[in-house]
Amino acid sequence: MSFSPDCPLCIPDHDILLWQDDRLRVVRVDDPPYPGYLRVVWQRHVAEMTDIDALDRLHLMRAVFQIERLQRAILRPDKINLASLGNQVPHLHWHLIPRWRGDPCFPDAIWAPLRHDPARAGAWADARAALAPRVERLHRILAAHGPAADIPDTGA
């Protein structure tokens, strides 16, 4: 199956597209507590990595790792979380989530219940604001050059 009318990732109106080719697209995930959060979505409606052939798997994972490299170089997070779940939306996609020790859920997964002092969220808002120019730079580079972008050596 390559399209499912009930699947939100097949009808990507809510996506903020940064870059795409004929097999995958890179979209921003505007989840305010998590700056630089991106998603790589396979264009066709398939559920699992083994629903696509080996060359397509290489293409997808190359893009994921190239984007991880850009996130690390530009955002300098404490950790990157890569996740392919698809339990709620069984359309192949990868989450690429930069993480910082001060973010609201660290060290838990971002989907975990919050278990920290709410004051931490206030401190994180300031840190997030400071990261905004780097996030904009990441988005600009991806939109202009795609996952294989060379990263210019000039500051953040």
Q: What angle do CA 10, 14, 15 make, to 5 degrees?
A: 75
Counting residues that bind Zn ion (by CB under 5 A) gives 6
Q: Is 24 in the site for Zn ion (CB under 5 A)?
A: no
DSSP-derived letter for residue 51 is G
Please report how close the Cβ of residue 95 comes to Zn ion at its closest, in angstroms.
16
Helix (H, G, I), strand (E, B) or coil at 18: strand
**Residue with nearest beta carbon to Zn ion:** 7
Q: Considering only residues 4, 20, 66, 81, which one is a binding residue for Zn ion as defined by CB under 5 A?
A: 4
Q: Is 12 in the site for Zn ion (CB under 5 A)?
A: no
Residues in the chain: 156
Torsion angle, alpha carbons of 58, 63, 68, 71, to 10: 170
By CB under 5 A, what part of segment 68-127 binds Zn ion?
91
Question: Strand order of the sheet with strand 16-20?
Answer: 16-20, 24-28, 38-42, 93-99, 79-83
- Spell out, one character per residue from 28 to 67, where the chain touches Zn ion: x when CB under 5 A holds, - when not: -----------------x----------------------
Q: Shortest Cβ distance from residue 76 to Zn ion (Å)?
A: 34
Comparing CB distances to Zn ion, the nearer of 75 and 92 is 92
Alpha-carbon distance of 153 to 156, in angstroms, equals 9
Residue 10, interface with Zn ion (CB under 5 A)?
yes
Supply 47's token pair.
Answer: 């559920």
Q: Which spans of this chain sit near Zn ion (rule: CB under 5 A)?
A: 4, 7, 9-10, 45, 91
